Every structure is written in C-alpha cells, then in structure tokens.
Amino acid sequence: MCAVALISFILAWRYPFFWLVFFWSLWVMAQRGTKTRAYYRVYTEPPHPNPEPPRQHTLYDLLEVSPNASPEVIKAAYRQLAMKYHPDRQPDAQARRRAEEQMKAINAAYEILADPVRRAEYDRHLRDGLA
C-alpha cells in the first residue's frame, strides 16, 4: 500500500485524479494501523519462571510500621489508621463494611503489639516461622 501511495503521489503532479488515489491509500494505511497493529507489536517480557513467593503479611505490615518500632510509633500508627478506617468516616455502606473489617484487624494487631509480653511472644513466633 505504501508503493501505491508513492506512485500516486508522483503521478498526481501530472494527473490530478491521482490525488484521490493518494489520499485513499493514506486512509487505508491508517485504518490498517489502527485495527491490526501487526507490524508494530510491542515486546513484552515473558513472566519470570520462578516468581518470588508471596510475602507473609504480619501485624507490623497491617499497622504499617517496622518490626523494631517503638511503642510510641505503634500507638501513633494505630491512631492514624483508626482515623482513616473508622466506619463513621466512610461515605457509603459498602465502604463502611470494608472499614469495619479493616478496623477489626487493626484493633487485633494493636492489642498484640501494644502489650510487651504478647509482642515478644509474637516476635518469637515470627522468627520460628510459626506465625
């Protein structure tokens, strides 16, 4: 089709009818480019044969703090997440239900991480791979 466009462009200077053929060939090439894109396929990298295993979510991930965070940092993170996910601050019923579930998980995580004895036991379970 590119050859037709080139030849018709050259002939259009002598025979004005070929302007129609030239513009028609441009239109056809544009339509082919938008429909098939066979000549311009984008290379996508194949998936990695050994994807890394899914990361285990911990209570620290839930509260968005590091495992060596101080009790003050944990308390501040809990308050921030409690304000963010409080059900009364959600606009509709579906978001309210999701926020209630999230708040239950956040409250449970905070109860464990706020108590030094329970936190030490949880950390021990994490190191042993039990949690």
Which pLDDT band, with edges at 50, 70 and 90, does 99 fall under?
very high
Q: Torsion angle, CA of 20/21/24/25, rounded to 10 degrees?
A: -150
pLDDT at position 78, please?
96
pLDDT at 65 over 80: yes
pLDDT at position 22, please?
81
Which pLDDT band, with edges at 50, 70 and 90, does 112 fall under?
very high
pLDDT at 21 over 60: yes
* Segments of the chain assigned to CATH 1.10.287.110: 59-128
Q: Tell me how far apart the alpha carbons of residues 116 and 112 are, in angstroms, rounded to a whole number.
A: 8
Which of 77, 76, 59 has the alpha carbon at shortest distance from 67? 59
pLDDT at 41 over 70: no
Is pTM beyond 0.75 here?
no
**CATH architecture assigned to 59-128:** Orthogonal Bundle (1.10)
